[in-house]
Amino acid sequence: MDGRRIQAIYFDLGETLIHFGRLRANAVFNRAARFSYAYLADLGQPVGGYGPYWMWSFFGIRFHLLASFLSGNDFDSLTLLKRHGLKKGYTLTEPQWQELNWQWYRPLSERGEIEPDTGRTLTALKEAGLKLGILSNTFIHGSSLDRHLQQEGLLDFFDRRLYSYQYSFRKPDRRIFIEAARQIGTEAEHILFVGDRMDKDVRGAMNAGMVPVLKTAYTNKKKGTPEGVFRIHKLSELPELVNQLNRKE
């Protein structure tokens, strides 16, 4: 049996693996609406005028975001697009539905940045025998998130990728952390969880028995580091942190 303290690492996605920064939500939405509208129009779909399309999309997404906030569950963006698109008479193949979903996500993907040495860091962790995974709260369908990870050259590093829209619970609910541990085949106490949110990532990981690591980001600016929590400023600090923790065993 592997006697190391740390045998696997789970990462949050936004502001941990990929940095989007502070967003101007309306500007991002407007670009996404333009991209998706143009895509549907090019396919000859009955999309109608842009004004009604914008209004329908704007109020639709706001309604579902509010419902998600109240219920504590994330919706699936691809399922939502299909349901509303079919009502509008769109006839798309599965790859085309996924491309439509991507067009809505595209403005975010264009903002995303990774640290220059992320690939080397993840390679070092894998070569050290660690299993790697992603656990993220999101309503964005995995087809778009995986595509973005592939574009950044990161997808193949991760043995498991869990997105909260796939479950009836989300971070900080300990159940999604326990499910993540089950899927990667490692006891929670042997998993390092790296995230940027004190309320979602750190609290959830601690409650599940994982080892929490707070990644410095604008989301935790001026917040201290609680006892029992490790802090890193860059992902490149992880290999040494893992070595330190495993040397203590």
Same domain, 13 and 54: no
Look at residue 227 and give its three-state secondary structure. Answer: coil
Q: Which domain holds residue 207?
A: 8-20+114-247
pLDDT per residue as tens digits for the range 7-28 = 999 999 999 999 999 999 999 9
pLDDT per residue as tens digits for the range 184-219 = 999 999 999 999 999 999 999 999 999 999 999 999
pLDDT per residue as tens digits for the range 71-100 = 999 999 999 999 999 999 999 999 999 999
Answer whether residue 235 shows pLDDT above 70. yes
Distance separating the N- and C-terminal Cα atoms of the chain: 14
Distance, in Å, from the CA atom of 157 to the CA atom of 127, rounded to the nearest integer, reads 11
Strand segments (E) across 13-106: none
Buried b (16+ CB within 10 A) or exposed e, 167-188: eeebbbbbebbebbbeebebeb
Which of 110, 121, 130 is closest to 192 using CA atoms? 130
Percent of the chain at pLDDT exceeding 90: 95
Same domain, 103 and 222: no
Q: Is residue 1 part of a domain?
A: no
Average pLDDT, the chain: 96
pLDDT per residue as tens digits for the range 26-62 = 999 999 999 999 999 999 999 999 999 999 999 999 9
pLDDT score recorded for residue 222: 85
Same domain, 125 and 98: no
User: What's the pLDDT band for 1 if we cut at 50, 70, 90?
Assistant: very low
User: What's the pLDDT band for 234 if we cut at 50, 70, 90?
Assistant: very high
Same domain, 172 and 86: no
Same domain, 62 and 179: no
pLDDT score recorded for residue 3: 65
Distance, in Å, from the CA atom of 96 to the CA atom of 27, rounded to the nearest integer, reads 25
Among the candidates 95, 111, 127, a domain finishes at 111
Same domain, 63 and 43: yes
Q: Is residue 3 part of a domain?
A: no
Same domain, 103 and 137: no
Mean predicted confidence (pLDDT) in 137-143: 98
Q: Is residue 2 part of a domain?
A: no
Same domain, 51 and 137: no
- DSSP readout, 106-155? HHHHHH-B--TTHHHHHHHHHHTT-EEEEEE---S-HHHHHHHHHHTT-G
The CATH number of whichever domain residue 229 belongs to comes to 3.40.50.1000
Same domain, 120 and 238: yes
Distance, in Å, from the CA atom of 193 to the CA atom of 206, rounded to the nearest integer, reads 9
Among the candidates 111, 135, 164, a domain finishes at 111
Flag whether the pTM goes above 0.85: yes
Distance, in Å, from the CA atom of 145 to the CA atom of 155, rounded to the nearest integer, reads 9
User: What's the pLDDT band for 151 if we cut at 50, 70, 90?
Assistant: very high
Distance, in Å, from the CA atom of 214 to the CA atom of 171, rounded to the nearest integer, reads 15
Same domain, 141 and 77: no
Same domain, 210 and 119: yes
pLDDT score recorded for residue 186: 97
Same domain, 98 and 120: no
Q: How far is CA 220 from the centre of its chain?
A: 17
pLDDT score recorded for residue 249: 56
Which residues are 131's β-sheet partners?
8
Which of 194, 175, 189 is closest to 234 using CA atoms? 194
